[in-house]
Amino acid sequence: MLEKRDFYINGQWVAPQDGIDHHVIDPSTEEPTAVISLGGTQDAEAAIAAAKAAFPSWMAAPVEDRIALVEKLIDIYQTRGEDLAQAMSAEMGAPLEMARSQQVGAGTYHLKNFIRAAKSFDFIKPLGDHAPNDRIIHEPVGVAALITPWNWPMNQVTLKVGAAAIAGCTMVLKPSEESPLNAMIFAEMMDEAGFPPGVFNLVNGDGPGVGTVLSGHPDVDMVSFTGSSRAGRLISKNAAETLKRVHLELGGKGANVIFDDADEKAVKRGVLHMMNNTGQSCNAPSRMLVQRSKYDAAVEEAAAVANKVTVGPASDEGRHIGPVVNEVQWTKIQDLIQKGIDEGAKLVAGGTGRPEGFNKGYYVRPTVFADVNNDMTIAREEIFGPVLSIIPFDTEEDAIEIANDTPYGLTNYVQTQDGARLNRMAQALRSGMVEMNGTSRAAGSPFGGMKQSGNGREGGVWGLEDFLEVKAVSGWAAE
């Protein structure tokens, strides 16, 4: 069992001042895989003070120097890939193959995209030809609190740390207490890369403890949070007292609209996308909307695909889905599956209980419901598990109405061969992202949502801008 209790503050690994022991549980076995300390107020305040003290010199450092350190970080990151994969597999249940390729791979992908964006970004630029002595300066917001989730740990850590570092912010990272081990490895990499003391700090803790201190502290200028909409509301309320900037990337209930002319792989693609990461993705296509003439065939195919999805321990090699992260999530998912049955949805694959052959571990059966209507609980709430709801629709207008009838607005998906309809749907769907016909967003494309899916954007130029203030200057002198 890995045991490590230290925090990374002001360029040093330090013992917690008021920490308590916390067991990190392997969801495949329900057994402890590590013991860490959850910090308290004194630990959070020490990290904030270090970040505040480091800010003036880090802000003044040439952006080329900040970029060079992130480039060095990437080199180190690539040597620690297996360590990260093993950690994430054990702490949050990502199967090893998926952890190596997707979970670890996301980190290098985002850091490289930030470097590309930063090298062509004008941190000081003219207002326009009409105002030759006016300049627009982009400067760092200040001390940033970065609060990251357990479901895509390195994806979110690198999206926040990479952008904040290049922008010139100093930071305090609080990873999820469910998956802290990968973040501690990442702190080792930041240290090895040579970031100046206080630029990057890590304090483990829970939301009510360290998270509350970070979001309410007057010396924190910005909070960047990824997690549930419920927690996002609490953070926003706490942060309002100091009027700090709050960036939120929250939940989703994405619609995957499949028209009758969709390509032959559309249904299978949608089911497998839903089941990826055991359904624990905020941008999962959890509502499959199918045009009525294709509906019966789509239901039959979706059930067949889900029944072929295998479930197994995260430590096993191979292409399967692992457990969900913990007992709380497992129980919530079981309750929502039962709710779908009780409210009259037609269960066509999966169901309640563990998959056959498992009597331990937080495993969920890959589940598909048909004949769902958009008023059912399983169509309204984010389940965050491998549970797909299929809803019929008749016309394009019906599809738009159903897809937009949700408090969320993160990602929607469209499958049709009609180009004009693709473009109409892309403009009509109320979400921060729309992906069509299985085409992923390109490198540097912004990630983020509308409505209760949050605000702000992560990745590429937009990710940098989230950590930058805009300063208008008149009377700029020619040099």
Positions marked active-site: 249, 282
d(CA 71, CA 65): 10
Q: Take residue 309 and report the two structure tokens written for it.
A: 């999805």
In whole angstroms, how far apart are CA 49 and each of 199, 215, 324?
Answer: 11, 14, 36
d(CA 116, CA 423): 29
How are beta strands 170-174 and 7-9 bridged, if at all? unpaired
Task: Note whether 274 and 413 are within 8 A (CB).
Answer: no
Let me know the angle formed at the C-alpha of 269 by 266 and 271, rounded to the nearest 5 degrees.
110
Task: Note whether 269 and 284 are within 8 A (CB).
Answer: no
